[in-house]
Chain A
Amino acid sequence: MTHAGDEGLFERVLDGAAADGAGAELFERRGALLELTEDEEGSTLLETRERGFALRLFKAGRSAFAASGAERAAHLPAEARRRLPRARARRGVRLPAPGPGESAEGRALVDPTPPDADLARTLLTGFRQALTAAGRGTVSVREAAVSLGERTERLATSAGRDAAWSSRLATLVATVIGRSPAGRFSARVVGAAARPEELPVARLARHAADRVLLPLQGRPFTASRADVLLDPLVGAHLVGRLAPLFFGDEEEALLAARTREGRDALAAPLVSLVDDATASGGVVRGVRDGEGTPRGRTTVVDKGLPSGRLTDVAAAGRLSAASTGNAVRLAWSAPPRVGSTNFFIDPSPGVSPLDLLAGVGRGLYAAVLLERPEIDLAADRFRLVVAGFAVERGRATERVSEAEVSGRLSEFLRGVAGIGDDLRFVLGGTGSAGAPTLLVPRWRVG
Chain B
Amino acid sequence: MRETGDLSRDADEAVRLVSGLLRRGESGEAFRERVRTETWTASESGLLAPALSEESGTAVRIRRDGALLLVARSGAGPESLREAVREAARRAGSAPFFKAHRAAPAAPAPSRAEPPEEEERRTAALAAALARAFSDPRGMTATVEVSRVVTERTVVTPRALLPCGSRTRLVAAGTIRRSGSERPFSFQSARPFGEAAEALAAALRAAARPVPALPPAPGPVDVVFSPQAASVFWHEVVGHPLEADAGDRGSVLSRVKGAAVAPAGLEVVDDPGRADLPGAYAVDDEGALGRAVPLLSGGVVTGLLADRRSGGVETNGHGRTPSFRRPPRPRMANLVANAGDATLDELLARCGDGVFVRDVAHGAADPESGRFVLFVSEADAVRKGRRGAPLAPFALAGEILSALASVDETWGNEVLPATGLSLCVKGGDAVCVGGAAAALLVRGLVARTARR
Contact = CB atoms under 8 A, between A and B. Distances in A.
Contacts of B91: 45, 47
B50 interface: yes
A183 B399 CA distance: 12
A40 B75 contact: no
B55 interface: yes
B314 interface: no
B368 A75 contact: no
Given A42-B67, A46-B70, A46-B72, A379 B52 contact: no
A335 interface: yes
A46 B325 contact: yes
Contact of B245 (A1, A41, A71): A41
A169 B247 CA distance: 30
Nearest to B362: A372
Interface stretch (A78-86, A316-324, A340-348): A78-86
Contacts of B366: 185-187
A385 to B, nearest CB: 9
B311 A83 contact: no
B353 interface: no
Interface string A39-59: 111111111111110100000
Contacts of B368: 142, 177, 184-186
B71 A47 contact: yes
B385 interface: no
A70 B75 CA distance: 8
Nearest to A335: B51
Nearest to B47: A88
Given A42-B65, A173-B428, A376 B87 contact: no
Interface stretch (B17-25, B176-184, B287-295, B339-347): B176-184
Interface stretch (A10-18, A61-69, A199-207, A433-441): A61-69
Given A46-B70, A335-B51, A71 B181 contact: no
Given A44-B70, A46-B327, A379 B369 contact: no
Contacts of A72: 1, 54, 56
A335 B180 CA distance: 29
Nearest to A44: B68
The A interface is mostly helix, strand or loop, or mixed, namely strand
A374 interface: yes
Interface in B229-269: 245, 247, 250
Contacts of A62: 49
Contacts of A71: 56, 74-75, 77
B452 A52 contact: no
What class of interface size applies to chain B in its complex with A? 35 or more
A69 B75 contact: yes
Size class of the A contact interface (CB-based, 8 Å) = 35 or more
A339 B333 CA distance: 34
Contact of B73 (A1, A173, A186): A1
Contact of A48 (B65, B72, B79): B72
Interface in B68-123: 68-75, 77, 79, 83, 87, 91, 116, 119-120, 123
A40 B51 contact: no
Given A46-B327, A83-B49, A52 B74 contact: yes
A333 interface: yes
A68 B250 CA distance: 41
Contacts of A375: 451
B66 A378 contact: no
Nearest to B36: A68
A376 B65 contact: no
A355 to B, nearest CB: 33
Contacts of A184: 368-369
B37 A333 contact: yes
Interface string B1-33: 100000000000000000000000000000000
B74 A378 contact: no
A383 interface: yes
A64 B38 CA distance: 12
B53 A51 contact: no
Contacts of A65: 49, 51-52
Given A69-B54, A142-B250, A188 B181 contact: no
Contact of A45 (B68, B74, B177, B427): B68
Interface string B360-375: 0000101111000100
Nearest to B181: A379
A183 B119 CA distance: 55
28 contacts: A33-B325, A40-B311, A42-B68, A44-B67, A44-B70, A46-B70, A46-B72, A47-B91, A48-B325, A50-B57, A50-B73, A54-B53, A63-B49, A65-B49, A67-B55, A72-B54, A72-B56, A82-B116, A83-B52, A83-B119, A86-B120, A88-B47, A184-B369, A185-B366, A186-B369, A333-B53, A334-B39, A379-B180
Closest 5 CB pairs of A and B: A42-B66, A87-B49, A186-B368, A333-B53, A378-B182
Interface of B: 1, 37, 39, 46-57, 65-75, 77, 79, 83, 87, 91, 116, 119-120, 123, 177, 180-182, 245, 247, 250, 309-311, 325-327, 364, 366-369, 373, 427-428, 449-452
Given A33-B325, A42-B66, A186-B369, 6 more contacts: A42-B67, A42-B68, A49-B72, A51-B74, A89-B48, A143-B427
